[in-house]
Copies of this chain bind each other. A is one copy, B any other.
């Protein structure tokens, strides 16, 4: 018996996935836009392959869906079917789905309809609402590869849902597929040896980002129905959300359940992997958070969750923002700088106070997060890759050569991290001396990454996000604008400050990244998720991007 090569196993896995699509929804090559068509954002709606009803459903947000399901205008089956059909089209445009189980989703939707018809009662707050899942969440009856070929059929099917999936399912949510990720979810491009690469629907020459790239590429094509769950340990929610101009929230650890997810770095606690919603609407995002926490009570199910309800927030009428334009390590692309400037102008015009946020310890905190990632000497990732002998991508070569750190050294690193976090907190407190209100800032406005679009393999700096993983603070992303080659031109007089800054500077090609997304990050302190979402709403409304994904139907 010869051992199957990783390529053979990957091929087999792809075929297994492909067999799960619904034939009538698969388009022929000549029905799809050619590779020359970069921007496919409007294609699912404009192509004519979705019915008017399917478009209406998929352009409805959660509250609207819930209303129609309750009133029986739409069945859960209608909703799931429209959702899966549109996802199927999206997949054919950007290669975003990994596990596909439309049939199971449709069967569950039918079951929910039957229950509702029979009992007159909805199963829960998410009755019939489709929620997309990143491929680190286990779904009973499905595999979870997290991009490792060796996990393609290992196990063939999980016997239990992840804690979060189980909770959402109990509240009536419907799951029909999972989305593509980078190997181990530890690269900023969503690429692996099983499914290849997920590209951005803003510009298909560009990366969807990572690690929640499958989610975000999908989400940008799915309409206002879209809400998916991604995860974030160094920027994995925020980076792809920003590269696709979606809304997301990276919560502090303990707000949402993470128990029973698959990870490339299982047991790592020095920096916590968290999960959070990604959506085309703030209404979906907020409803998700509030319902999950207040009705789901995650602390009853996940021992790491904190018994804190989703609290009502009252914001001061005039907010105070710290703005960070450049962290002093890697200078953002012009469109990102423009997005920040646009945001500042909107805030000031509305009478909010804006002061400068001077970054502190960003480079070292980012480096420490990287050391935590590698602290097991890559043992777990090597073991998983070793199941089939698949090679590491360039981004992950360091996992091959890393050294298993001693716990004594880890403790010292944790001491250093805590010291830097204290300094960061003190700097925040000290802004009270700079503001006209005498209050410390309410939030930081800053880039999510240097990139307003980036080709696969060129993303080289996670410092704008990873610092808040080290701090474990709440951070949201909202859309602002798109890169425009006519406006966003590079400052030719700039002298890069270091290797990563140089690489980022050199990778900028206005023509190539044209049309890329440019979002901003809104950062609040630890456990201030409610406040963060409330501020995201205020800022998006001022920018006019709260309706960024609204289509006139």
Contacts and interface: CB of A to CB of B under 8 A. Distances in A.
A347 interface: no
A407 B408 contact: no
A456 interface: no
Given A267-B413, A526-B299, A408 B379 contact: yes
A304 to B, nearest CB: 7
A269 interface: yes
Interface stretch (A18-26, A106-114, A421-429): A421-429
Given A259-B418, A422-B259, A411 B306 contact: no
A422 B267 contact: no
A411 B299 contact: no
Interface string A302-336: 11101110000000000000000000000000000
Contact of A266 (B265, B404, B407, B411): B411
B376 A526 contact: no
A527 interface: yes
A37 interface: no
Contacts of A259: 418, 422
Chain copies in the assembled complex: 2
Nearest to A270: B269
A516 B301 CA distance: 40
Given A267-B410, A411-B267, A526 B404 contact: no
A14 interface: no
Contact of A404 (B268, B379, B406): B406
A127 interface: no
Contact of A407 (B407, B429, B471): B407
B306 A268 contact: no
A412 interface: yes
B404 A408 contact: yes
A223 interface: no
A405 interface: yes
B411 A265 contact: yes
Given A300-B429, A407-B407, A269 B414 contact: yes
Interface in A408-455: 408, 410-415, 418, 421-422, 424-425, 429
Contact of A527 (B306, B412, B414): B306
A525 interface: yes
B429 A471 contact: no
Contacts of A421: 303-304
Nearest to A163: B422
A380 interface: yes
A200 interface: no
Contacts of A410: 267, 407, 410
Given A299-B526, A301-B425, 16 more contacts: A267-B412, A269-B414, A299-B527, A303-B422, A303-B424, A303-B425, A303-B526, A304-B418, A306-B526, A307-B525, A375-B407, A376-B407, A377-B407, A404-B407, A404-B408, A406-B407
User: Lowest 7 A-B CB distances belong to which pairs?
Assistant: A267-B411, A303-B421, A376-B408, A379-B408, A375-B407, A267-B415, A404-B406
Interface of A: 259, 265-270, 299-304, 306-308, 375-377, 379-380, 404-408, 410-415, 418, 421-422, 424-425, 429, 471, 525-528
